[in-house]
């Protein structure tokens, strides 16, 4: 973990900052909830979180307020989750991949080619299966409130065009801290390299990694297209984002405050999905105009190379049941 000049660890420094700001507490008749996340202010998910904060204000008549701290101002994804667990931060937004380390059932969302399309994904996440997943991390003091659309994830590389799985052989590919994501890269012959999102631009620029994988909007808004000149739309996974609140913070809210927050969350999910599609189309047009080579490969080759991952991760009857329910949903 990084340390500042005074010797405080990253988490320690955040605790000092949050201590100065105060926790999920009240100021006169107003309660404040603090939400930290890692995305930049131009990202559609951040826009959705700001919209959620505004809807909380409207629904509560100003009695409940959400303060949003973007761009890792407070913590990385993993650190934000740990701060929620100890009650020092109230809410966060993370990728479902990171949640694998806190609730094993989230592994299913990282399996390659799990969803047939976006309609299938939304049917699953908006229904009973999605609700089960949102509740899965309660024993770890984390409560999921909603899923945000994060589109489909594809590979992008500095100098090696990926036209088929064989082109990934030996390449160092940045992944999240997700066993499933790392297994996928290994299955395709690459070398998975977990790395914090905020460190990825310089890692690509300096050749520490050869490429990464993410959705087109994040590829564009992060500026990674400036140093990674090939984007391969293999769309290997559709891993959503998750909006969470710590159970400590949730426990401090009364029934009315919980209702305001859940209602505002539903409002933001609808807004975020519209914003997401708009950003995806703009991002693809922008990176192509900037000279990025966009490759649309034969996905069947990637599907064939990654089929074994399903069997490797379906290691329990419960997980196999969950996987089967998702595959059959909407039929």
DSSP code of residue 104: G
Q: How confident is the model at residue 185 (pLDDT cuts 50, 70, 90)?
A: very high
pLDDT, tens digit (0-9, with 9 covering 90-100), for 44-78:
999 999 999 999 999 999 999 999 999 999 998 89
Give residue for tokens 């650190």: 79
Beta-carbon-side half-sphere exposure of residue 305 (alpha carbons within 13 Å)? 21
Token readout for 122 is: 């939304």
pLDDT at 7 over 50: no
Token readout for 195 is: 């790395």
Rounded to the nearest angstrom, the gap between the alpha carbon of residue 116 and the centroid of all alpha carbons in its chain is 20
Token readout for 41 is: 């202010």
pLDDT, tens digit (0-9, with 9 covering 90-100), for 235-289:
999 999 999 999 999 999 999 999 999 999 999 999 999 999 999 999 999 999 9
Give residue for tokens 């605790």: 15
pLDDT score recorded for residue 12: 59
pLDDT at 28 over 80: no
Q: Which domains does the chain have, with CATH numbers?
A: 16-150+239-281 (3.40.190.170), 153-238+285-328 (3.40.190.170)
Pick the closest to residue 146 from 241, 280, 228, 23 (CA basis).
241
Q: How confident is the model at residue 318 (pLDDT cuts 50, 70, 90)?
A: confident
Question: How many other CB atoms sit within 10 Å of the CB of residue 276?
Answer: 23
pLDDT at 167 over 70: yes
Distance CA 298, CA 109 (A): 22
pLDDT at 8 over 50: no
pLDDT, tens digit (0-9, with 9 covering 90-100), for 98-108:
999 999 999 99
Question: How many other CB atoms sit within 10 Å of the CB of residue 112?
Answer: 23
pLDDT at 9 over 70: no
pLDDT score recorded for residue 15: 59
Q: How confident is the model at residue 298 (pLDDT cuts 50, 70, 90)?
A: very high
pLDDT, tens digit (0-9, with 9 covering 90-100), for 105-143:
999 999 999 999 999 999 999 999 999 999 999 999 999
Percent of the chain scoring above 90 in pLDDT: 85
Q: How confident is the model at residue 330 (pLDDT cuts 50, 70, 90)?
A: confident
Four-residue CA torsion sign, 79, 85, 87, 92? positive
Give the contacts of 111 (CB within 8 A, at least 6 positions apart).
180, 237, 309, 310, 313, 323
pLDDT, tens digit (0-9, with 9 covering 90-100), for 260-272:
999 999 999 999 9
| 154 within 8 A of 112, measured Cβ to Cβ | no
pLDDT score recorded for residue 153: 97
Measured CA distances, 214 to 134, 284, 287 (Å): 22, 13, 14
């Amino acid at each position: 973990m990084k340390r500042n000049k005074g010797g405080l660890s990253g988490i320690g420094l955040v605790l000092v900052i949050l201590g100065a700001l105060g926790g999920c507490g009240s100021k006169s008749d107003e309660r404040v909830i603090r939400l930290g996340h890692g995305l930049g202010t131009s990202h559609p998910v951040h826009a959705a979180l700001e919209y959620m904060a505004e809807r909380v204000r409207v629904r509560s008549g100003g009695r409940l307020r959400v303060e949003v701290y973007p761009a890792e101002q407070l913590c990385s994804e993993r650190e934000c989750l740990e701060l929620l667990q100890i009650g020092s931060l109230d809410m966060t937004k993370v990728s479902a991949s990171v949640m694998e380390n806190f609730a094993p059932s989230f592994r299913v969302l990282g399996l390659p080619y799990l969803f047939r399309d976006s309609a299938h994904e939304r049917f699953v996440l908006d229904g009973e299966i999605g609700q089960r997943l949102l509740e899965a991390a309660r024993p770890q003091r984390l409560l999921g409130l909603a899923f945000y659309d994060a589109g489909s994830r594809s590979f992008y590389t500095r100098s090696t065009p990926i036209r088929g799985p064989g082109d990934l052989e030996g390449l160092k590919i940045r992944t999240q801290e997700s066993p499933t994501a790392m297994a996928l890269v290994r299955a395709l012959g690459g070398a998975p390299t977990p790395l914090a999102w905020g460190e990825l631009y310089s890692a690509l620029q300096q050749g520490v990694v050869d490429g990464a994988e993410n959705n087109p909007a994040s590829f564009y808004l992060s500026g990674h297209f400036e140093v990674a000149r090939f984007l391969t739309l293999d769309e290997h996974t559709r891993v959503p984002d998750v909006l969470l609140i710590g159970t400590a913070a949730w426990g401090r809210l009364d029934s009315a405050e919980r209702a305001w927050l859940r209602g505002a969350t539903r409002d933001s999910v609808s807004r975020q999905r519209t914003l997401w599609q708009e950003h995806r189309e703009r991002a693809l047009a922008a990176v192509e105009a900037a000279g990025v080579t966009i490759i649309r490969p034969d996905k069947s080759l990637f599907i064939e190379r990654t089929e074994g991952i399903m069997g490797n991760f379906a290691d329990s009857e419960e997980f196999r049941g969950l996987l089967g329910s998702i595959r059959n949903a909407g039929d």
